[in-house]
């Protein structure tokens, strides 16, 4: 499991922690690693909260990796087996963090806000409700655990990003549309 965001109130990292706890209570035999990439004003509070809530779970490893470059994030995706990308923000545009993960074949889950529904479909991940409860996020994790084992969901995530968000393809289309206006 990986999340990438600043650690601020709007990103609701505490909900990831709470939903992980609920997930682990129900799934005691599943070994889980959660890596969070990013830092922010609430970093120390979130680390403390995570430790207080999750330290008793021997089947969980939590890593706060801090702020790292895009190249290092890409290397991390290549070097580690990642089943799920998670976002539970209360506000987003079209998150580049989700696009980057999906471009590496990592299925994503996130709330139906901003442009997230343009990225996450039934074929590429799991779309949460706009303001998901802890229970809904935990259930989403369970569903994603099953989905991530399906090779097609990973292929579809990659294809969707290439088809809809390829800068090279979109720039050419944009230039063609602009030049054809004359």
- Rounded Cα distance between 94 and 82, Å, is 21
- Rounded Cα distance between 100 and 47, Å, is 25
* Low-confidence winner among 44-48, 84-88, 114-118 (lowest mean pLDDT): 114-118
Task: Return the ∠ at Cα 50 (arms to 70 and 69), rounded to 5°.
Answer: 10
Question: Hey, is 37 helix, strand or coil?
Answer: strand
What is the chain's mean pLDDT, rounded? 92
Q: CB of 33 within 8 A of CB of 114?
A: no
| Class of residue 128 by CB neighbours under 10 A (exposed 0-12, middle 13-18, buried 19+) | buried
Residue 89 CB neighbours (<10 A): 21
pLDDT in tens, 20-56: 999 999 999 999 999 999 999 999 999 999 999 999 9
Residue 121 CB neighbours (<10 A): 14
């Amino acid at each position: 499991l990986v999340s990438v965001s600043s650690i601020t109130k709007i990103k609701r990292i505490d909900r990831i922690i709470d939903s992980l706890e609920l997930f682990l209570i129900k799934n005691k035999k599943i070994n889980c690693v959660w890596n969070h990439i990013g830092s922010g004003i609430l970093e120390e509070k979130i680390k403390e909260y995570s430790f207080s809530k999750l330290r008793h779970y021997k089947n969980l490893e939590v890593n706060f990796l801090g702020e790292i470059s895009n190249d290092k994030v890409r290397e991390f995706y290549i070097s580690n087996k990642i089943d799920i990308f998670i976002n539970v923000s209360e506000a987003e545009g079209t998150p580049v963090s989700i696009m980057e993960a999906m471009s590496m074949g990592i299925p994503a889950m996130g709330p139906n806000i901003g442009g997230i529904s343009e990225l996450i479909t039934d074929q590429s991940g799991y779309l949460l409700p706009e303001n998901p409860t802890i229970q809904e996020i935990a259930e989403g994790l369970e569903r994603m655990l099953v989905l991530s084992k399906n090779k097609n969901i990973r292929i579809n995530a990659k294809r969707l990003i290439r088809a809809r968000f390829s800068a090279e393809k979109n720039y050419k289309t944009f230039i063609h549309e602009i030049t054809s206006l004359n």
